[in-house]
Amino acid sequence: MEEMHQRNWLVGLIIGIIIGGIIGGIFGTYLVFQNPKLFPWTQKTVALQSSPSQNTTSQPATSTSNSTQPSIELAVENVVQKVSPAVVRIVSTKEVLDYFFLQVVPQQGLGSGVIIRPDGLILTNNHVIEDASKIEVTLSNGKTYKGKVVGADPISDVALVKINANNLPYVELGDSSKLKVGQFVVAIGNPYGLDHTVTVGVVSALERNINVGNKTMHGVIQTDAAINPGNSGGPLVSLDGKVIGINTMIYENAQGLGFAVSSNTCKKVIDSILKNGKVEWPFLGVEVTTMTPEIADQLHIKYRPGVLVAKVIKGSAADKAGIKQGDIIVSIDGKPVKTSDELINIIRSHNVGDHIIVEIARKGLSETLRLEVVLQAQPVPQQKKNKDNNPLAPFFNFGP
């Protein structure tokens, strides 16, 4: 009997401990969550328990990101449907000299272009049609026309070609000054003869000044959209269907480094060709470099932001105005100039014949000089041509 009493007492004790533990746990948990600041070691647990609601609120951002993908794809499809019918293939033929047989043979080049008027006015690159004796333009419907050069500008690498046709699909040139780095763009052209090839990329940089041979192309658009031989002259298009550039070149042996002439440059060339039959770019007539503290130390002068004149071209506007080698150009018409690119862009925003005030700092003078300059036309690099453009003339004397 006594043994049974002890057993009941032990069972009751165990049950009491269990019930007490449950009640204590419930009360303790309630106390902790009601007063988390009193129990700092529990804040991590509270935060973890709150994470499901944070995940719930972050879901819309994830779904929004995913939803942009179809919208971009749809925009690209719309651009292609709108612009591709106006993209043409251009095959140019020019006569070159076969040095082995000393005879003239035809050589063909392939490029692209885009129709900008329904009467058959086509925008392309100068290098696509340069020195061509024959131009053939093939439309998206497969019809081929004879092309005629209306005008060309070697400096900007822009040209206009006309075909005898009407009611053609055409595109509108957009405003390239509104472009943003990172903006999606579409390139359409005929690389390696693969008609109407479409590639997509972004605007990698704006207002690039690129040295090409013996000239500098100013204010071009850099893009990572794939551009290959045959793409030259084709349009670079924004997602609203506006042509914002004409694809012109790539860096050889590089990936994702393509360049396009901006649509605003193209507009200026088009207007000038159609109105005057030629293109003139304003020219100051100096070779410059951006001033740096290191250059100032080498020249033993005090550093100041500006552009150092390394050379003045004889007979140029700068030469006539009195600008000298070693001068530092600090402003144009009161606008500070800190880099050579800024100077180039300011000059190109003017017209030939414009009067500008160039402020310079000159070694030995305590104050700057303000010189009035009348901008001249930039000389166009000319290839030396013989009489009647005969390729054999360098080897034989054809008379005076």
Domain boundary assignment for the chain: 86-162, 176-276, 282-377
CA torsion 252→255→261→263, rounded to 10°? 160
Report the CATH number of the 176-276 domain.
Answer: 2.40.10.10
Summarised one tens digit per residue, pLDDT across range 341-354 is 899 889 988 999 99
- Looking at residue 133, what DSSP letter applies? S
Note whether 312 and 241 are within 8 A (CB): no
What does the pLDDT profile of the chain (400 residues) look like in tens digits? 555 555 666 666 677 677 766 776 666 666 655 665 555 545 444 333 333 434 444 344 334 445 555 688 899 999 999 999 999 999 999 877 777 767 777 788 899 999 999 999 999 999 999 989 999 999 999 999 999 999 999 999 999 999 999 999 999 999 999 999 999 999 999 888 888 899 999 999 998 888 777 777 888 999 999 888 888 999 999 999 999 999 998 877 777 889 999 999 999 999 999 999 989 999 999 999 999 999 999 988 889 999 999 999 999 999 999 999 999 999 999 999 999 989 988 998 899 999 999 999 998 788 899 999 999 999 876 654 443 344 443 333 333 3
Is there a common fold for 86-162 and 282-377? no
Strand order across the 158-162 sheet: 144-146, 134-138, 87-98, 103-117, 121-124, 158-162, 148-153
Mean pLDDT estimate for the chain: 82
Report the CATH number of the 282-377 domain.
Answer: 2.30.42.10
Q: What is the pTM of this model?
A: 0.72
Catalytic residues: 127, 157, 232
Note whether 263 and 243 are within 8 A (CB): yes
Per CATH, is 86-162 categorized as 2.40.10.10? yes
Summarised one tens digit per residue, pLDDT across range 153-207 is 999 999 999 999 999 999 999 999 999 999 999 999 988 888 889 999 999 999 8
